[in-house]
Amino acid sequence: MKKIWISGADGQLGTELCLLFSDSKTFEIYPTSIKDIDLINSASVQDFSQKNNFDIIINCAAYTAVDLAESNQELNWKVNVDAVESLAQCADKINALLIHISTDFVFDGSSTQALKESDLTNPLQEYGRAKLAGEAFVQKGIVIRTSWLYSPYGNNFVKTMLRLGREKEQINVVANQIGTPTCAEDLAKLIYTMCQDEEIHTKLGLYHYSNEGVASWYDFAQSIMEYAELSCAVFPIPDTGYPTPAKRPAFSVMDKSKVKERFQINIPYWRTSLKSCIQKIKENESRN
């Protein structure tokens, strides 16, 4: 039975991974959050990894407060760079596969075509710069860049829109930033597929993953209201109408050809996964 450490297990992706792996007879998971292991403390990371001798380390932990990262640069760097370096060193020592999650924010948004793994990076904000620096330490593992992640768990755009949709009659949402929403459950399924792959050590490297399709934040919000059957009206605005401390890329649609070819997966369309997620949120709310 393979032993898997899931760091950041209480986040969106970590929660989905724990749900997915919990029924497996092939894997034994060791989920941790900052309450269990502080990834900034390299000694704790080394002790935990060597004591358990993991086969796979999945790093879902990250400092994801994009705007706060502009002022909290030290913490942003420690979590998104230094902790990744520690995990990579530990994975190397115990000969474990490290799967690390990165972001579309490593790009500046100047492209007009779906972004490939080989395209030049140029992050516009401190968060993206730290995530890009963290990627560089995963030389013998897998890095997955994803975008606009959401799930029924934690805080995310979908849950924010659902709250606003119930509280307000109308909202304004940015329409000139283009990307693709990604359901955390779908990303978790990809990672599960990777962990099952007996040839995984021949497929190391960088991959792009999001759901299929293209959307603006306005499109995303409109669909959330539609699927949740909320009457809140959504109006499109330019990003100049909603200034933020951190700049966002204007275009970050990613090309998924590489991951689809290497792992023979079918990626769901973003609206299909969104509809399913909103149904799960409704079911969770009805049980509480």
45-85 per-position pLDDT tens digit: 999 998 999 999 999 999 999 999 999 999 999 999 999 99
Which pLDDT does position 272 carry in this prediction?
A: 98
Tell whether the model's pLDDT for residue 128 goes beyond 80.
Answer: yes
- The residue annotated as part of the active site, out of 63, 127, 150, 218, is 127
Q: What is the pTM of this model?
A: 0.96
Nearest-angstrom CA–CA distance, 274 and 241: 26
H or E segment to which residue 101 belongs: strand 97-103
Of the candidates 125, 127, 124, the residue with the CA atom closest to the CA atom of residue 75: 127
Residue 242 a catalytic site member: no
CB 137 within 8 A of CB 84: yes
Handedness of CA 54, 64, 36, 152 (dihedral sign): negative
Give me the percent of the chain exceeding a pLDDT of 70.
Answer: 100
Q: What rounded mean pLDDT belongs to the chain?
A: 96
Alpha helices, DSSP H, located in 70-216: 73-77, 83-93, 126-135, 157-167, 184-196
Predicted confidence (pLDDT) at residue 182 exceeds the cutoff of 80? yes
Residue showing tokens 């000969």? 95
Angle between the 12-21 and 184-196 helix axes, to the nearest 10 degrees? 50
Residue 215 tokens read as 């959307």
